[in-house]
Amino acid sequence: MLSTDLKRPARGGAQDLFYSQANTKGLPTIVRGDGVYIFDDKGNRFLDVISGAMAASLGQGNERVLKAMYDQGMKHTFSYVRVSRHLPNAVLTEKVAALAGPGFERVHLSSGGSESVEMAIKFLRQYSYAKGDRSKTKVITLMPSYHGGTLATIGWTGDEDAAAVWGPMAVFGEKIPAPLSYRPPFGSTSEEGALGVSAALEAKIVELGAENVLAFMMEPIGGQSTGANVPHPTFFSEVHRICRKYGVFLVFDEIVSACRSGKFLAAHHYPDFKPNVVITAKGLGATYTPIGAMMASAEMVDELAALTGFNLSHTYNANPITCAGAAAVLDEMTERNLIANASHLGAKLRARLESIKENSPVVGDVRGQGLMLAIEYVRDKQTKEVFSEEIYASDRIRQIGVDHGLMLYSRRQNGGRYGEWSVVCPPLIITEQQIDDLADRLERTLEVFADEMTRAGVL
């Protein structure tokens, strides 16, 4: 008999059985979704503050996308990209390249974020190797940062706690401090931090030998690992200049930031300082289908294809059903003007978060761009002191949020060394009224938390 007990059945069970039991207390069982809301088995409604996993840009149940996938599946379910080609692949990549603009004419599809990050780095390695630059293998990334959970991407991810378990197995890349705007690693302002990190990048390239450095990879707007950190604009011009000077490829991981910042790519905010390769994933499939993409210039891709080619693929790369779904996602985004809308809706949400910050003793910072925002929690706004590990403020706030109809996602980065926060990135279809509802509920959630802390003598 099939067990309907999702908590701890004798066999099978939900995915969270694999996660730390300490962090899965009180997880709701979701049975239904509608627009920006999800509903549990007890009839409670939650506003999806984090769009699933910063991905569900179109919210739940978009008929056009689901129908496009169904229709495609009925017409032609699958054929393998290594031995045939199909139109949905070309239709989707044409749309992506048109949105991405010059320098990103070619789009390689894969099944998700981590896989696309690996594809991007492997593509650059293959390109350099084919052109005779065979010593180029080192990848420099930021600490903290996130680039995925496969063994290769764990090595590029900036997570100080990863080395203990994975160190003997993963190949760890070279790390330099992230240009955090609220906690600058150098100097005391965001700009001084950005200049310090740029100098650290240059020093690291020189130390490793430019002939050995393949790429510098960064998130132009941080995801969960930095809580929507937006580096100072100087950082973009500096890393572009330094990468050019030393012949190091610049890679933007836009797995979260694409579609959310008010432009298709966050890179579009810095048109003079384009990366060589951009990776995206989440917003592209909007959770309707697993997909990721890496984009590069036609010049590079065609040059490599004429040499060795980039002959890697996974079974589900560019499969027709996924391509049709993602093409419909982009049509929805374009026709409903959702990408540009993220700017003015984001400005409204940000203004509400700023006023919550003014009134709350526990909110130290509000940051981000468009609908990719975050709030950082502190015990002391003057000193930026983080709450203790026992309090685990960000997770406690997540739990209180559940009682107030909010689905939050929080992070205490590297034991709180870099702070703790919740990302605030609702679906792009959110209305102004729903933004007010989100902010009202968040305000009450933070009031309850602050009261708890006051009663406990922590504040």
Q: Which residues bind ligand PMP (CB under 6 A)?
A: 112-114, 117, 146-148, 219, 223, 253, 255-256, 281
Q: Judged by CB, which is closer to ligand PMP: 257, or 445?
A: 257
Amino acid at 34: D
Q: Judged by CB, which is closer to ligand PMP: 147, or 183?
A: 147
**Distance separating alpha carbons of residues 246 and 395, to the nearest angstrom:** 43
**Distance separating alpha carbons of residues 109 and 171, to the nearest angstrom:** 25
Q: Judged by CB, which is closer to ligand PMP: 62, or 287?
A: 287
Q: Least separation, in Å, of the C-beta of 282 and ligand PMP?
A: 7
Q: Least separation, in Å, of the C-beta of 223 and ligand PMP?
A: 3
Q: Judged by CB, which is closer to ligand PMP: 375, or 439?
A: 375
Q: Judged by CB, which is closer to ligand PMP: 202, or 219?
A: 219
**Distance separating alpha carbons of residues 283 and 350, to the nearest angstrom:** 20
Q: Judged by CB, which is closer to ligand PMP: 117, or 201?
A: 117
- 420-424 and 372-377: which strand pairing? antiparallel
Q: Least separation, in Å, of the C-beta of 146 and ligand PMP?
A: 5
Closest-CA residue to 261 (of 301, 220, 304): 220
Q: Least separation, in Å, of the C-beta of 117 and ligand PMP?
A: 6
Contact 362, 453 (CB under 8 A): yes
Closest-CA residue to 312 (of 176, 172, 120): 120
Q: Least separation, in Å, of the C-beta of 147 and ligand PMP?
A: 5
- Report in angstroms the alpha-carbon separations of 457 from 120, 391, 450: 50, 12, 10
Q: Judged by CB, which is closer to ligand PMP: 256, or 428?
A: 256
Q: Least separation, in Å, of the C-beta of 281 and ligand PMP?
A: 5
Instruction: Using the Cα atoms of residue 55, residue 60, residue 63 and residue 68 in order, give the sign of their dihedral.
Output: positive
Contact 289, 325 (CB under 8 A): yes
- Report in angstroms the alpha-carbon separations of 129 from 47, 68, 83, 277: 48, 40, 25, 17
Q: How far apart are the first and last CA of the chain?
A: 52
Q: Least separation, in Å, of the C-beta of 113 and ligand PMP?
A: 2
**Distance separating alpha carbons of residues 333 and 327, to the nearest angstrom:** 10
CB-based closest residue to ligand PMP? 113
Q: Judged by CB, which is closer to ligand PMP: 57, or 114?
A: 114
Q: Least separation, in Å, of the C-beta of 171 and ligand PMP?
A: 17
